[in-house]
C-alpha cells in the first residue's frame, strides 16, 4: 500500500534511514495478528471515501468486508484498496495506509518504493532524553505525545520502548467489545495470572484495563501506549474521566506508565486544557515537530550538501517523505518516481493532507484548504486571502499556524498585526505539491510525467528561493548561540519597509538578528539559491540596506552572506563577515 505502508507505524512517521541490516522488531511490541492495517485512506476529488480506517486479522481468522457494490461506496473502496497478496492484483491504490503482513512487508516496500532493506531510527535525541527522564520518575506517570501525521510518533515510541514491558493499543472506530478483546490479547503476556487469563476473560471496560495494568506494574514498570487517543474519545468520551478517577486511586507504589498519543493536534492539545479531566496529570508533554534542515540531512547522508538542500525543499522535515528519497538517483529521477507517475507514492499525498488534517473551522466549506491554496498561488497578504475565500480568515490562519502549516511573517521590530503580515505555507512538501505538482496532476495521469518532471525541475529554483531563506535563518539562529557578538538573541526574522511606493527602496533583508532587551540589530544577512555569488556585491547591498532601513544597528554589525555552494570575491582582512553554504546548513 502507499502512504504509511512503507514505514510501519512503528516505522510510520519518523526519522528512518535506509540500511542493509535486517529489521529489528521488539518481541514486547509484537502484535498477535497476521495482518495489521492502520490509517487506510482513499480520497477522490478532495473527498475522503475511506478515512483513516484501521483493523487487524488474526492468524486463522476468516475476515471479510460486507456492503453493496457501487462506485465510491466506502466499503467497496476499502475492498478495492487493500492488497491481500501480490502487488499486480491491485485494482486501485490507497492514498495512505500501513499494512503489516509479516511475510510480505519488505518485498512490497522494495517493489513500490524503490529501495530494499530496512529502515532504522535517526535523531530525536532531545525527545529520547525526555522519555528516559519521564520513565525514571517514581510512582505512576502519565504522558502525552502528539504531532501531525508522518512526523514519527509511533516510530519514536517503538524505538524507545524496545527494551521495556509494553502494551501497545491502537484506538479504532470499531465496537467497544472488539477493542477490549484486542487489547486483552496484547496485554496477555504481562497481565495474565492463574486467577485470570485475559484472553478468556477480556477486559470489560476502561476502569478494568487501568486497574489491572496498575496492579501488574507493582514490581516492575509497565508501559501502556494508547495510539490515536483522540479517535478513542469519539466513541468513548468518558475514558478521560475514567482514567482520572483510577489515576487518583492508584498508589505511589505502582510503576504504571501511560502514554496517550495522537495525530489530531487540536484534540490532543485539548486533553491538556485547564478544564479537561486530565489537566495537570501529565508529567510528560512532547509535541513532535518536523526535522530542522540540519536534522533532515541525517536521512540524506548519501547526497552532497546542495542535493540535500533540494531534497529538503521537496520533502521538508517530514521523516516519512525524506525516507522515500533515493540517494542514488538524480533529482529529476526522484521527482519522476515519487510524483510524476500515476503510481507515484506522493502524487496524491497533498490531497490526503488537505482531506485528513485536524483543521479547525470550515470543514464543510473547506476554508483551511482554500486559504492554503490561496497562499500557495502567491496571494500572501491578509487582504488578498480574505478576498479569495470571501470571509475573514483570522481563525483559519491561526489554526493553520498552530498546525505548523502556515507561517506568519512580519518585518522584525514591527508591531504585531495579522492584517499587515504576509503568510507562507510552512510545510515544504505541501507548498511544493500545491505549487508544482497539482497543476500538472491530470497530465501525469495521461502518461507524460517525464516531461512534467523536466518542467518541475526547471521551475524549482523559483520555488526554492523562500525555502532557502528560511533554512538560512534557522541556521543563523543556531549559529548565534555560539557567537558572543550576537547574544543574548532576542529575535530573528526578515525585514522590509512597509508602505513604500514607486521607486523607493524597500530595503529587503533576508535575515536580521536582534540582540538584548533593546532589540538592537547585530546581524544582517542575504541568501541566494544560486550556486555561486559575488561576495563583494552582496556585502555592498547589505551595507546600503542596513543604513537605509531605519533600524537601530549595532556599531559592530555582522554580515552573513549565503549561496548554495560558494561565495567568491570576499574582501580581505574583515572579521565581520559570516559565509554560509549548503555544506553548513545541511552538514
CATH number of the domain encompassing residue 134: 3.40.50.300
What pLDDT shows up at residue 513? Answer: 97
Tell whether 265 and 209 lie within a shared domain. Answer: yes
81 and 162 belong to one structural domain: no
Same domain, 99 and 247: no
* Domain finish residue from 87, 114, 141: 114
What does each C-alpha distance from 437 to 4, 33, 110, 292, 384 come to in angstroms?
A: 20, 38, 24, 23, 23
Neighbours of 73 (CB within 10 A): 15
Same domain, 63 and 195: no
For the chain, helix (H) and strand (E) counts, in that order, are 22, 19
Asked whether residue 374 is domain-assigned, the answer is no
User: Which residues lie closer than 8 Å to 21 by C-beta, 6 or more apart?
Assistant: 117, 118, 120
What was the pLDDT predicted at 27? 35
Whether the Cβ atoms of residue 581 and residue 562 lie closer than 8 Å to each other: yes
Q: Does residue 130 lie in a domain region? A: yes
The tally of domains found in the chain comes to 3
CA atoms within 13 A on the CB side of 540: 7
In a shared domain, residues 251 and 183? yes
Is 296 a member of any domain? no
> Which residues are paired to 258 by β-bridges?
142, 224
| Strand ordering across the sheet containing 489-495 | 489-495, 509-515, 520-527, 553-562, 577-580
Q: Within this chain, do residues 138 and 107 fall inside the same structural domain, yes or no?
A: no
Write the pLDDT tens digit of every residue in 328-371. 999 999 999 999 999 899 999 998 888 877 666 545 568 888 99
Both 515 and 560 in one domain: the answer is: yes
147 shares a domain with 104: no
Q: Which residues of the chain have pLDDT under 50?
A: 1-31, 69-119, 362
Residues 266 and 166 in one domain: yes
Is residue 448, in this structure, part of any structural domain at all? no
Q: What is the pLDDT of residue 60?
A: 56
**376: in domain:** no
Q: What is the pLDDT of residue 235?
A: 80
* Residue 149 confidence (pLDDT): 87
- Residue indicated by cell numbers 473547506: 366
Burial class (CB in 10 A: 0-12, 13-18, 19+), 384: middle
110 and 131 share one domain: no
Assigned C-alpha cell, 405: 502549516
Torsion sign across C-alpha atoms 66, 69, 73, 78: positive
The last residue of one of the domains, among 60, 94, 114, is 114
DSSP 486: G
Q: How far is CA 509 from CA 251, 559, 587, in A?
A: 58, 11, 25
| Alpha carbons 62 and 68: distance in angstroms, whole number | 19
Which pLDDT belongs to residue 315? 96
Give the 3-state secondary structure of residue 286: strand
Quote the pLDDT of residue 175: 82
Measured CA to CA, the distance from residue 334 to residue 323 in angstroms comes to: 12
**281 lies in a domain?**
yes
Same domain, 89 and 37: yes
User: Residue 263 has what pLDDT?
Assistant: 87
Three-class SS of 82-121:
CCCCCHHHCCCCCCEEEEEECCCHHHHHHHHHCCCCEEEE
What are 34-50's pLDDT values in tens digits? Answer: 676 766 766 655 556 66
Hey, what's the cell of 362?
470550515
Using the 3D structure, point to which of 114, 136, 162 is the last residue of a domain: 114
Cis check: omega of the bond before 488, within 30 degrees of 0: yes
pLDDT, residue 352, reads: 85
Closest listed residue to residue 253, CA positions, set 214, 203, 201: 214
Q: Is the pTM of this model over 0.85?
A: no
Residues 251, 139 within the same domain:
yes
User: Residue 382 half-sphere exposure, CB side, CA atoms within 13 Å?
Assistant: 15
Other CB atoms closer than 10 Å to residue 139's CB: what's the count?
Answer: 13
pLDDT at 199: 87
Instruction: Report if residue 409 sits inside a domain.
Output: no
In the chain, the N- to C-terminal Cα span, in Å, equals 33
pLDDT attached to residue 18: 39
Domain with 145, as residue range(s), is: 125-287
Residue at 515 is within a domain: yes
Amino acid at each position: 500500500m502507499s502512504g504509511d505502508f512503507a514505514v510501519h507505524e512503528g516505522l510510520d512517521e519518523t526519522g528512518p534511514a535506509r540500511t542493509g541490516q535486517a529489521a529489528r522488531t521488539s518481541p514486547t511490541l509484537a502484535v498477535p495478528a497476521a495482518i495489521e492495517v492502520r490509517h487506510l485512506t482513499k480520497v477522490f476529488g478532495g473527498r475522503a471515501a475511506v478515512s483513516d480506517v484501521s483493523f487487524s486479522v488474526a492468524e486463522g481468522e476468516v475476515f471479510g468486508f460486507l456492503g453493496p457494490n457501487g462506485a465510491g461506496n466506502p466499503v467497496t473502496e476499502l475492498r478495492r484498496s487493500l492488497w491481500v497478496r501480490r502487488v499486480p492484483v491491485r485494482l486501485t491504490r490507497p492514498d495512505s495506509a500501513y499494512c503489516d503482513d509479516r511475510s510480505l512487508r519488505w518485498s512490497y516496500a522494495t517493489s513500490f518504493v524503490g529501495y530494499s532493506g530496512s529502515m532504522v531510527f535517526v535523531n530525536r535525541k532531545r525527545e529520547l532524553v525526555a522519555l528516559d527522564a519521564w520513565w525514571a520518575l517514581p510512582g505512576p506517570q502519565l504522558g502525552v505525545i502528539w504531532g501531525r501525521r508522518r512526523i514519527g510518533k509511533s516510530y519514536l515510541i517503538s524505538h524507545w520502548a524496545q527494551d521495556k514491558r509494553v502494551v501497545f493499543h491502537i484506538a479504532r472506530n470499531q465496537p467497544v467489545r472488539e477493542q477490549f478483546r484486542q487489547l486483552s490479547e496484547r496485554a496477555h503476556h504481562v497481565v495474565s495470572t492463574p486467577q485470570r487469563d485475559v484472553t478468556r476473560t477480556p477486559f470489560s471496560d476502561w476502569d478494568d484495563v487501568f486497574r489491572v495494568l496498575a496492579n501488574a506494574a507493582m514490581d516492575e514498570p509497565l508501559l501502556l501506549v494508547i495510539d490515536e487517543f483522540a479517535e478513542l474519545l469519539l466513541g468513548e468520551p468518558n475514558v478521560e474521566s475514567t482514567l482520572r478517577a483510577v489515576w487518583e486511586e492508584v498508589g505511589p507504589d505502582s510503576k504504571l506508565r501511560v502514554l496517550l498519543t495522537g495525530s489530531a493536534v487540536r484534540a490532543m492539545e485539548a486533553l491538556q486544557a485547564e478544564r479537561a479531566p486530565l489537566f495537570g496529570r501529565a508529567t510528560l508533554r512532547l509535541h513532535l515537530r518536523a526535522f530542522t534542515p540540519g536534522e533532515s540531512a541525517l536521512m540524506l547522508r548519501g547526497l552532497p550538501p546542495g542535493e540535500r538542500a533540494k531534497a529538503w525543499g521537496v520533502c521538508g522535515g517530514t521523516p516519512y517523505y525524506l525516507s522515500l528519497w533515493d540517494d542514488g538517483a538524480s533529482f529529476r529521477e526522484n521527482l519522476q518516481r515519487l510524483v510524476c507517475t500515476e503510481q507515484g507514492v506522493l502524487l496524491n499525498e497533498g490531497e490526503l493532507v488537505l482531506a485528513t488534517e485536524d483543521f479547525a473551522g470550515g470543514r464543510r466549506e473547506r476554508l483551511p484548504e482554500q486559504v492554503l491554496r490561496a497562499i500557495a498561488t502567491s496571494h500572501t497578504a491578509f487582504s488578498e486571502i480574505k478576498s479569495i475565500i470571501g470571509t475573514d480568515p483570522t481563525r483559519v490562519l491561526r489554526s493553520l499556524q498552530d498546525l505548523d502549516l502556515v507561517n506568519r511573517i512580519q518585518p522584525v521590530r514591527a508591531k504585531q498585526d495579522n492584517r499587515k503580515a504576509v503568510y507562507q505555507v510552512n510545510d515544504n512538501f505541501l507548498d511544493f505539491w500545491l505549487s508544482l505538482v497539482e497543476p500538472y496532476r491530470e497530465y501525469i495521469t495521461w502518461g507524460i510525467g517525464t516531461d512534467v518532471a523536466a518542467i518541475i525541475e526547471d521551475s524549482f529554483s523559483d520555488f526554492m528561493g523562500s525555502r532557502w531563506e528560511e533554512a538560512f535563518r534557522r541556521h543563523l539562529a543556531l549559529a548565534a548561540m555560539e557567537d558572543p557578538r550576537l547574544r543574548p538573541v532576542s529575535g530573528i526574522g526578515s525585514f522590509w519597509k512597509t508602505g513604500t511606493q514607486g521607486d523607493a527602496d524597500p530595503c529587503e533583508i533576508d535575515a536580521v538578528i536582534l540582540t538584548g532587551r533593546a532589540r538592537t540589530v547585530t546581524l544582517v544577512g542575504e541568501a541566494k539559491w544560486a550556486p555561486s555569488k559575488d561576495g563583494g556585491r552582496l556585502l555592498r547591498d547589505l551595507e546600503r540596506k542596513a543604513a537605509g532601513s531605519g533600524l537601530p544597528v549595532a556599531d559592530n554589525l555582522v554580515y552573513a552572506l549565503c549561496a548554495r555552494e560558494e561565495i567568491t570575491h570576499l574582501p580581505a582582512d574583515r572579521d565581520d563577515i559570516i559565509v554560509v553554504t549548503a555544506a553548513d546548513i545541511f552538514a
